[in-house]
Structure 1
Amino acid sequence: MQKIAIVDYGMGNLHSVVKSMQLVAADRAAVMLTADAAEIAAADKVVFPGQGAMPDCMAHLEESGVKAAVLKAATEKPFLGICVGAQLLFERSEEGPTDSLGVFGGQVIRFPAERMVGADGEKLKVPHMGWNEMFIKRDHPLWTGIADGERFYFVHSYHFAPTDDIAVIESAYPYRFAAAVARDNIFAIQCHPEKSADAGLKLLKNFVDWDGRR
Protein backbone atom coordinates (compact mmCIF):
# COMPACT_ATOMS: atom_id res chain seq x y z
CA MET A 1 0.00 0.00 0.00
CA GLN A 2 1.31 3.44 -0.91
CA LYS A 3 2.13 5.97 1.79
CA ILE A 4 1.03 9.61 1.60
CA ALA A 5 2.76 12.04 3.97
CA ILE A 6 1.02 15.27 4.98
CA VAL A 7 3.74 17.63 6.18
CA ASP A 8 3.21 19.14 9.62
CA TYR A 9 5.64 22.02 10.20
CA GLY A 10 3.59 23.69 12.91
CA MET A 11 1.34 25.96 10.85
CA GLY A 12 -2.41 25.72 10.45
CA ASN A 13 -5.18 23.38 11.50
CA LEU A 14 -4.49 20.30 9.40
CA HIS A 15 -7.41 18.24 10.68
CA SER A 16 -9.60 18.78 7.61
CA VAL A 17 -6.73 17.99 5.20
CA VAL A 18 -5.96 14.73 7.02
CA LYS A 19 -9.60 13.65 7.26
CA SER A 20 -10.31 14.45 3.62
CA MET A 21 -7.23 12.57 2.40
CA GLN A 22 -8.09 9.58 4.57
CA LEU A 23 -11.63 9.58 3.19
CA VAL A 24 -10.60 9.54 -0.47
CA ALA A 25 -7.63 7.20 0.06
CA ALA A 26 -9.83 4.56 1.72
CA ASP A 27 -7.93 1.26 1.60
CA ARG A 28 -5.65 2.30 -1.29
CA ALA A 29 -3.18 4.44 0.67
CA ALA A 30 -1.97 5.00 4.21
CA VAL A 31 -2.21 8.70 5.10
CA MET A 32 0.07 10.05 7.83
CA LEU A 33 0.47 13.52 9.32
CA THR A 34 4.17 13.86 10.05
CA ALA A 35 6.85 16.28 11.19
CA ASP A 36 9.56 13.66 10.63
CA ALA A 37 11.97 14.17 7.72
CA ALA A 38 12.61 10.44 7.42
CA GLU A 39 8.89 9.68 7.07
CA ILE A 40 8.55 12.36 4.39
CA ALA A 41 11.51 10.86 2.54
CA ALA A 42 10.02 7.36 2.76
CA ALA A 43 6.55 8.37 1.56
CA ASP A 44 5.38 7.67 -1.98
CA LYS A 45 3.55 11.01 -2.20
CA VAL A 46 3.67 14.26 -0.25
CA VAL A 47 1.01 16.84 0.60
CA PHE A 48 2.40 20.23 1.66
CA PRO A 49 -0.35 22.39 3.21
CA GLY A 50 -0.12 25.68 5.07
CA GLN A 51 -2.28 28.33 6.67
CA GLY A 52 -1.58 31.76 8.11
CA ALA A 53 0.97 34.45 7.34
CA MET A 54 3.62 33.52 4.82
CA PRO A 55 6.59 34.84 6.88
CA ASP A 56 5.47 32.78 9.88
CA CYS A 57 5.02 29.68 7.72
CA MET A 58 8.49 30.06 6.23
CA ALA A 59 10.03 30.60 9.67
CA HIS A 60 8.34 27.49 11.06
CA LEU A 61 9.44 25.47 8.04
CA GLU A 62 13.05 26.61 8.56
CA GLU A 63 12.88 25.62 12.23
CA SER A 64 11.03 22.35 11.74
CA GLY A 65 13.89 20.28 10.34
CA VAL A 66 11.82 19.12 7.35
CA LYS A 67 12.69 21.81 4.80
CA ALA A 68 15.31 19.69 3.01
CA ALA A 69 12.98 16.68 2.90
CA VAL A 70 10.19 18.82 1.42
CA LEU A 71 12.49 20.22 -1.26
CA LYS A 72 13.77 16.76 -2.15
CA ALA A 73 10.22 15.37 -2.34
CA ALA A 74 9.29 18.19 -4.71
CA THR A 75 11.93 16.94 -7.16
CA GLU A 76 11.11 13.25 -7.21
CA LYS A 77 7.58 12.19 -6.18
CA PRO A 78 3.93 13.26 -6.65
CA PHE A 79 3.67 16.47 -4.65
CA LEU A 80 0.58 18.53 -3.79
CA GLY A 81 0.93 22.07 -2.41
CA ILE A 82 -2.17 23.59 -0.80
CA CYS A 83 -2.80 27.27 0.07
CA VAL A 84 0.30 28.74 1.78
CA GLY A 85 2.07 25.44 1.11
CA ALA A 86 1.57 26.21 -2.58
CA GLN A 87 2.73 29.82 -2.13
CA LEU A 88 5.93 28.67 -0.41
CA LEU A 89 7.00 26.95 -3.64
CA PHE A 90 7.65 30.31 -5.31
CA GLU A 91 10.78 32.44 -4.96
CA ARG A 92 9.38 35.25 -2.88
CA SER A 93 6.24 36.75 -1.38
CA GLU A 94 5.20 40.37 -0.97
CA GLU A 95 3.86 39.39 2.44
CA GLY A 96 6.76 40.27 4.66
CA PRO A 97 8.48 40.47 2.15
CA THR A 98 9.61 36.87 2.40
CA ASP A 99 12.07 34.72 0.49
CA SER A 100 10.68 31.22 0.07
CA LEU A 101 11.64 27.87 -1.51
CA GLY A 102 12.19 28.84 -5.15
CA VAL A 103 10.85 25.62 -6.66
CA PHE A 104 8.90 27.75 -9.15
CA GLY A 105 10.05 31.01 -10.69
CA GLY A 106 8.04 34.07 -9.72
CA GLN A 107 6.49 35.49 -6.62
CA VAL A 108 3.31 35.74 -4.59
CA ILE A 109 1.66 39.16 -4.79
CA ARG A 110 -1.12 40.93 -2.90
CA PHE A 111 -4.40 41.78 -4.62
CA PRO A 112 -3.82 45.46 -5.51
CA ALA A 113 -6.34 47.83 -3.91
CA GLU A 114 -6.76 49.87 -7.09
CA ARG A 115 -8.03 46.82 -9.01
CA MET A 116 -10.47 45.55 -6.38
CA VAL A 117 -13.61 46.83 -8.09
CA GLY A 118 -16.41 44.55 -9.29
CA ALA A 119 -18.33 44.72 -12.56
CA ASP A 120 -21.05 46.89 -10.98
CA GLY A 121 -18.51 49.24 -9.40
CA GLU A 122 -18.66 47.81 -5.89
CA LYS A 123 -15.49 47.67 -3.81
CA LEU A 124 -14.24 44.10 -3.37
CA LYS A 125 -12.84 42.96 -0.04
CA VAL A 126 -9.38 41.58 0.62
CA PRO A 127 -8.89 38.90 1.79
CA HIS A 128 -10.81 37.14 -0.95
CA MET A 129 -13.06 34.70 0.91
CA GLY A 130 -15.67 32.30 -0.37
CA TRP A 131 -16.58 30.10 -3.31
CA ASN A 132 -15.13 31.01 -6.69
CA GLU A 133 -15.25 29.52 -10.17
CA MET A 134 -12.22 27.67 -11.49
CA PHE A 135 -11.46 27.85 -15.22
CA ILE A 136 -9.37 25.22 -16.99
CA LYS A 137 -6.41 26.72 -18.81
CA ARG A 138 -4.87 23.37 -19.70
CA ASP A 139 -5.72 19.79 -18.85
CA HIS A 140 -4.09 18.06 -15.92
CA PRO A 141 -4.68 14.59 -14.40
CA LEU A 142 -5.66 16.11 -11.05
CA TRP A 143 -8.57 17.93 -12.73
CA THR A 144 -10.00 14.77 -14.30
CA GLY A 145 -13.74 14.64 -13.71
CA ILE A 146 -13.95 18.25 -12.49
CA ALA A 147 -15.99 20.57 -14.69
CA ASP A 148 -14.78 23.86 -16.10
CA GLY A 149 -16.32 26.57 -13.93
CA GLU A 150 -16.60 24.36 -10.84
CA ARG A 151 -16.48 26.31 -7.56
CA PHE A 152 -13.77 25.90 -4.91
CA TYR A 153 -13.33 27.60 -1.54
CA PHE A 154 -10.76 30.40 -1.13
CA VAL A 155 -9.36 32.39 1.78
CA HIS A 156 -6.40 34.53 0.66
CA SER A 157 -5.03 38.04 0.21
CA TYR A 158 -2.15 37.02 -2.09
CA HIS A 159 -1.94 35.03 -5.30
CA PHE A 160 0.66 33.39 -7.55
CA ALA A 161 2.50 35.46 -10.17
CA PRO A 162 4.63 32.83 -11.95
CA THR A 163 7.35 33.84 -14.40
CA ASP A 164 6.86 30.64 -16.43
CA ASP A 165 3.79 29.32 -18.21
CA ILE A 166 2.79 26.85 -15.49
CA ALA A 167 -0.79 27.93 -14.73
CA VAL A 168 -3.28 25.12 -15.34
CA ILE A 169 -6.33 26.58 -13.57
CA GLU A 170 -7.39 30.22 -13.28
CA SER A 171 -9.93 32.03 -11.15
CA ALA A 172 -11.08 35.66 -11.17
CA TYR A 173 -11.31 38.31 -8.43
CA PRO A 174 -12.06 40.50 -10.29
CA TYR A 175 -9.26 39.87 -12.81
CA ARG A 176 -7.95 36.47 -13.86
CA PHE A 177 -5.16 35.01 -11.74
CA ALA A 178 -3.40 31.64 -11.56
CA ALA A 179 -5.30 29.52 -9.04
CA ALA A 180 -3.38 26.30 -9.67
CA VAL A 181 0.01 25.69 -11.23
CA ALA A 182 1.73 22.48 -12.24
CA ARG A 183 5.07 21.24 -13.50
CA ASP A 184 6.24 17.66 -13.82
CA ASN A 185 5.42 15.91 -10.50
CA ILE A 186 4.12 19.02 -8.69
CA PHE A 187 0.58 20.40 -8.51
CA ALA A 188 -0.01 23.49 -6.34
CA ILE A 189 -3.38 25.09 -5.67
CA GLN A 190 -4.25 28.34 -3.90
CA CYS A 191 -7.70 27.39 -2.62
CA HIS A 192 -8.70 24.70 -0.12
CA PRO A 193 -9.76 21.45 -1.82
CA GLU A 194 -10.33 19.89 1.61
CA LYS A 195 -13.07 22.52 2.19
CA SER A 196 -14.47 22.45 -1.36
CA ALA A 197 -17.11 19.71 -1.07
CA ASP A 198 -17.32 17.03 -3.78
CA ALA A 199 -15.11 18.81 -6.32
CA GLY A 200 -12.33 19.20 -3.77
CA LEU A 201 -12.58 15.57 -2.73
CA LYS A 202 -12.38 14.57 -6.39
CA LEU A 203 -9.12 16.51 -6.76
CA LEU A 204 -7.68 14.80 -3.68
CA LYS A 205 -8.80 11.39 -4.96
CA ASN A 206 -7.12 12.15 -8.28
CA PHE A 207 -3.92 12.88 -6.35
CA VAL A 208 -4.14 9.47 -4.66
CA ASP A 209 -4.36 7.91 -8.13
CA TRP A 210 -1.74 10.14 -9.79
CA ASP A 211 1.63 8.75 -10.86
CA GLY A 212 3.26 12.19 -10.95
CA ARG A 213 3.30 12.47 -14.73
CA ARG A 214 1.36 14.85 -16.98
Structure 2
Amino acid sequence: MRLALIDYDSGNLHSAHKAFELMGRDAGADIILTSDPEVALTADRIVLPGDGAFPACRAALGEVDGMAEALRDAVLNRGVPFMGICVGMQMLATVGHEYRETAGLDWIGGEVVAIDAPDLKVPHMGWNELVIDRPHPVLQGINPGDHAYFVHSWQFRVNDPAHLLAHADYGHPVTAVVGRDNIIGTQFHPEKSQGVGLRLISNFLNWKP
Protein backbone atom coordinates (compact mmCIF):
# COMPACT_ATOMS: atom_id res chain seq x y z
CA MET A 1 0.00 0.00 0.00
CA ARG A 2 1.27 3.47 -0.90
CA LEU A 3 0.06 6.55 0.98
CA ALA A 4 0.72 9.96 -0.54
CA LEU A 5 1.22 12.70 2.05
CA ILE A 6 0.79 15.85 -0.01
CA ASP A 7 3.54 18.47 0.28
CA TYR A 8 2.45 21.91 -0.91
CA ASP A 9 4.36 24.02 1.65
CA SER A 10 1.31 24.42 3.90
CA GLY A 11 1.35 21.63 6.44
CA ASN A 12 3.02 20.27 9.55
CA LEU A 13 4.70 17.60 7.48
CA HIS A 14 7.43 16.42 9.86
CA SER A 15 5.10 15.37 12.68
CA ALA A 16 2.49 13.99 10.29
CA HIS A 17 5.08 12.00 8.35
CA LYS A 18 6.48 10.44 11.53
CA ALA A 19 3.03 9.53 12.86
CA PHE A 20 1.88 7.92 9.61
CA GLU A 21 5.19 6.06 9.25
CA LEU A 22 4.87 4.73 12.80
CA MET A 23 1.37 3.38 12.27
CA GLY A 24 2.07 2.37 8.69
CA ARG A 25 4.59 -0.29 9.72
CA ASP A 26 1.90 -2.68 10.91
CA ALA A 27 -0.30 -1.92 7.90
CA GLY A 28 2.55 -2.48 5.45
CA ALA A 29 2.16 1.07 4.18
CA ASP A 30 4.80 2.99 2.26
CA ILE A 31 4.40 6.66 3.30
CA ILE A 32 5.51 8.96 0.47
CA LEU A 33 5.92 12.68 1.07
CA THR A 34 5.24 14.16 -2.34
CA SER A 35 4.43 17.22 -4.42
CA ASP A 36 4.18 15.10 -7.59
CA PRO A 37 0.62 14.84 -8.96
CA GLU A 38 1.46 11.51 -10.62
CA VAL A 39 2.31 9.99 -7.25
CA ALA A 40 -0.96 11.27 -5.80
CA LEU A 41 -2.88 9.97 -8.79
CA THR A 42 -1.58 6.42 -8.34
CA ALA A 43 -1.56 6.26 -4.52
CA ASP A 44 -3.73 3.86 -2.53
CA ARG A 45 -4.42 6.50 0.12
CA ILE A 46 -4.02 10.27 0.24
CA VAL A 47 -3.52 12.66 3.16
CA LEU A 48 -3.77 16.43 2.72
CA PRO A 49 -2.48 18.38 5.75
CA GLY A 50 -2.79 22.15 6.13
CA ASP A 51 -1.66 24.87 8.52
CA GLY A 52 -2.32 28.59 8.30
CA ALA A 53 -5.06 30.60 6.62
CA PHE A 54 -7.61 29.05 4.28
CA PRO A 55 -6.91 31.40 1.31
CA ALA A 56 -3.15 30.86 1.54
CA CYS A 57 -3.48 27.07 1.70
CA ARG A 58 -5.96 27.00 -1.17
CA ALA A 59 -3.67 29.19 -3.29
CA ALA A 60 -0.61 27.07 -2.43
CA LEU A 61 -2.41 23.88 -3.45
CA GLY A 62 -3.41 25.51 -6.73
CA GLU A 63 0.18 26.51 -7.42
CA VAL A 64 1.33 22.87 -7.53
CA ASP A 65 0.75 22.25 -11.21
CA GLY A 66 -1.78 19.48 -11.74
CA MET A 67 -2.17 18.54 -8.06
CA ALA A 68 -5.78 19.66 -7.53
CA GLU A 69 -6.81 17.82 -10.68
CA ALA A 70 -4.93 14.68 -9.65
CA LEU A 71 -6.55 14.72 -6.21
CA ARG A 72 -10.02 15.16 -7.72
CA ASP A 73 -9.46 12.30 -10.15
CA ALA A 74 -8.05 9.95 -7.52
CA VAL A 75 -10.57 10.72 -4.78
CA LEU A 76 -13.81 11.49 -6.63
CA ASN A 77 -13.40 9.31 -9.72
CA ARG A 78 -11.33 6.38 -8.41
CA GLY A 79 -12.59 6.36 -4.82
CA VAL A 80 -9.16 6.49 -3.17
CA PRO A 81 -9.50 6.89 0.63
CA PHE A 82 -8.66 10.48 1.55
CA MET A 83 -7.98 12.31 4.81
CA GLY A 84 -7.76 16.07 5.23
CA ILE A 85 -6.14 17.47 8.38
CA CYS A 86 -6.88 20.93 9.87
CA VAL A 87 -7.00 23.37 6.92
CA GLY A 88 -6.64 20.33 4.67
CA MET A 89 -10.03 19.31 6.06
CA GLN A 90 -11.47 22.81 5.77
CA MET A 91 -10.61 22.93 2.07
CA LEU A 92 -13.12 20.14 1.49
CA ALA A 93 -15.81 22.80 1.96
CA THR A 94 -17.61 24.72 -0.77
CA VAL A 95 -16.29 28.08 0.40
CA GLY A 96 -14.16 29.65 3.12
CA HIS A 97 -14.73 33.12 4.57
CA GLU A 98 -11.37 33.73 6.26
CA TYR A 99 -10.10 37.19 5.22
CA ARG A 100 -12.02 36.93 1.94
CA GLU A 101 -14.40 34.54 0.26
CA THR A 102 -12.36 31.70 -1.23
CA ALA A 103 -13.63 28.69 -3.15
CA GLY A 104 -12.85 25.34 -1.58
CA LEU A 105 -12.66 21.94 -3.25
CA ASP A 106 -16.42 21.48 -2.70
CA TRP A 107 -16.15 17.76 -1.95
CA ILE A 108 -18.34 18.13 1.15
CA GLY A 109 -20.94 20.88 0.99
CA GLY A 110 -20.55 23.62 3.57
CA GLU A 111 -18.63 26.72 4.55
CA VAL A 112 -15.69 27.62 6.78
CA VAL A 113 -16.76 30.26 9.30
CA ALA A 114 -15.21 31.97 12.32
CA ILE A 115 -15.56 30.29 15.70
CA ASP A 116 -18.14 32.26 17.68
CA ALA A 117 -17.06 31.95 21.33
CA PRO A 118 -17.13 35.48 22.82
CA ASP A 119 -16.37 34.27 26.36
CA LEU A 120 -13.47 32.02 25.35
CA LYS A 121 -10.09 32.55 23.77
CA VAL A 122 -9.84 32.24 20.02
CA PRO A 123 -7.95 30.47 18.54
CA HIS A 124 -9.35 27.32 20.06
CA MET A 125 -6.04 25.81 21.09
CA GLY A 126 -5.24 22.76 23.15
CA TRP A 127 -6.90 19.54 24.20
CA ASN A 128 -10.65 19.15 23.93
CA GLU A 129 -13.11 16.35 24.43
CA LEU A 130 -14.59 14.65 21.36
CA VAL A 131 -18.32 14.03 21.01
CA ILE A 132 -19.03 11.29 18.47
CA ASP A 133 -22.09 12.18 16.41
CA ARG A 134 -22.08 9.22 14.02
CA PRO A 135 -20.19 5.93 14.03
CA HIS A 136 -17.53 5.57 11.36
CA PRO A 137 -14.79 2.96 10.77
CA VAL A 138 -12.04 5.60 11.10
CA LEU A 139 -13.41 6.48 14.56
CA GLN A 140 -13.56 2.88 15.76
CA GLY A 141 -12.11 2.59 19.26
CA ILE A 142 -12.33 6.35 19.83
CA ASN A 143 -14.88 6.99 22.55
CA PRO A 144 -16.91 9.98 23.71
CA GLY A 145 -14.75 11.80 26.23
CA ASP A 146 -11.47 11.02 24.48
CA HIS A 147 -9.41 14.15 23.87
CA ALA A 148 -7.72 15.49 20.74
CA TYR A 149 -5.45 18.47 20.08
CA PHE A 150 -6.91 21.50 18.28
CA VAL A 151 -5.36 24.73 16.96
CA HIS A 152 -7.80 26.82 14.90
CA SER A 153 -9.91 29.97 14.74
CA TRP A 154 -12.25 28.85 11.97
CA GLN A 155 -14.50 25.83 11.64
CA PHE A 156 -16.19 23.82 8.90
CA ARG A 157 -19.99 24.13 9.06
CA VAL A 158 -21.41 21.29 6.93
CA ASN A 159 -24.65 21.62 4.98
CA ASP A 160 -25.74 18.03 5.55
CA PRO A 161 -25.80 16.91 9.21
CA ALA A 162 -25.01 13.37 8.04
CA HIS A 163 -21.51 14.60 7.11
CA LEU A 164 -20.74 15.68 10.70
CA LEU A 165 -19.09 12.72 12.40
CA ALA A 166 -17.78 14.32 15.60
CA HIS A 167 -17.61 17.68 17.33
CA ALA A 168 -16.08 19.38 20.34
CA ASP A 169 -17.73 21.83 22.71
CA TYR A 170 -16.09 25.25 22.76
CA GLY A 171 -18.84 27.60 23.88
CA HIS A 172 -20.97 25.89 21.25
CA PRO A 173 -20.47 22.80 19.07
CA VAL A 174 -17.31 23.07 16.95
CA THR A 175 -16.81 20.62 14.08
CA ALA A 176 -14.11 18.04 14.79
CA VAL A 177 -14.56 15.35 12.10
CA VAL A 178 -16.41 15.36 8.79
CA GLY A 179 -16.82 12.63 6.23
CA ARG A 180 -18.70 11.05 3.37
CA ASP A 181 -18.06 8.04 1.14
CA ASN A 182 -14.25 7.62 0.85
CA ILE A 183 -13.48 11.07 2.32
CA ILE A 184 -12.77 12.01 5.93
CA GLY A 185 -11.37 15.14 7.53
CA THR A 186 -10.26 16.08 11.04
CA GLN A 187 -10.08 19.62 12.38
CA PHE A 188 -7.76 18.44 15.16
CA HIS A 189 -4.23 17.23 14.49
CA PRO A 190 -4.11 13.42 14.84
CA GLU A 191 -0.30 13.52 14.68
CA LYS A 192 -0.34 15.63 17.89
CA SER A 193 -3.21 13.82 19.63
CA GLN A 194 -1.19 10.95 21.12
CA GLY A 195 -3.08 7.66 21.47
CA VAL A 196 -6.35 8.94 20.05
CA GLY A 197 -4.63 10.35 16.99
CA LEU A 198 -2.54 7.25 16.39
CA ARG A 199 -5.65 5.08 16.64
CA LEU A 200 -7.39 7.26 14.07
CA ILE A 201 -4.39 7.07 11.72
CA SER A 202 -4.26 3.27 12.09
CA ASN A 203 -7.98 3.05 11.36
CA PHE A 204 -7.55 5.17 8.25
CA LEU A 205 -4.72 3.00 6.98
CA ASN A 206 -6.92 -0.07 7.31
CA TRP A 207 -10.17 1.55 6.13
CA LYS A 208 -11.94 0.00 3.15
CA PRO A 209 -14.74 2.37 2.11
Matches within 5 A, 1:10-29: 10-27=9-26, 28-29=28-29
Shift of 1:67: 1.0
User: Considering only aligned residues, what root-mean-square deviation do their CA atoms show, in Å?
Assistant: 1.0
**1:80 has 2:83 as partner:** yes
TM-score by length of 2: 0.94
Secondary structure of 2:151's counterpart equals strand
- Over residues 26-64 of structure 1, what are the superposed CA-to-partner deviations in whole Å (9 max), with x where a residue is unaligned? 051100000000000110000011111111101111111
Residue of structure 2 aligned with 1:157, choices 132, 148, 153: 153
User: 1: CA distance between counterparts of 2:159 and 2:95?
Assistant: 12
Q: Is the 2:150–2:187 contact (alpha carbons within 8 Å) kept by the matching residues of 1?
A: yes
Equivalence for 1:69: 70
Find out whether 1:46 has 2:50 as its counterpart: no
What SS does the corresponding residue of 1:32 show, helix, strand or coil?
A: strand
Match of 1:104 in 2: 108
Alpha-carbon offset, residue 72 of structure 1: 2.0
Structure 1: stretches of 5+ with no match in the other structure: 118-123
CA distance in 2, matches of 1:73, 1:127: 33
Structure 2: 5+ residue stretches without partners:
none
CA–CA distance in 2 between the matches of 1:129 and 1:74?
A: 30
Q: Tell me the residue number matched to 2:198.
A: 201
In the alignment, is residue 128 of structure 1 matched against residue 124 of structure 2?
Answer: yes
Displacement of 1:100 after TM fit?
Answer: 1.4
Q: Which of the pair has more CA radius of gyration?
A: 1
Shift of 1:147: 1.5
Q: Relative to structure 2, which stretch is displaced further, 34-43 or 6-15?
A: 6-15
Q: Secondary structure at the match of 1:147?
A: coil
1:9 positional shift: 1.1
Secondary structure, aligned partner of 2:59: helix
Larger CA deviation: 24-33 vs 187-196: 24-33
Task: Determine what percentage of the aligned residue pairs are the same residue.
Answer: 43
Match of 2:30 in 1: 30
Match of 1:120 in 2: none
1:148 aligns with 2:144: yes
* Corresponding residue SS for 1:101: coil
1:100-142 deviation line (CA, Å, top 9, x unaligned): 1111111000012xx422xxxxxx1111100000011110001
Matches within 5 A, 1:185-196: 185-196=182-193
**Residue 112 (structure 2) pairs with residue 116 (structure 1):** no
Instruction: Note the alpha carbon deviations across 1:1-37, whole angstroms, 9 max, x for none.
Output: x000001112133100000000001051100000000
Whether the 8 Å contact between 1:91 and 1:106 is mirrored in structure 2 is: yes
Q: In the alignment, is the contact (CA less than 8 A) between 1:12 and 1:51 conserved in 2?
A: yes
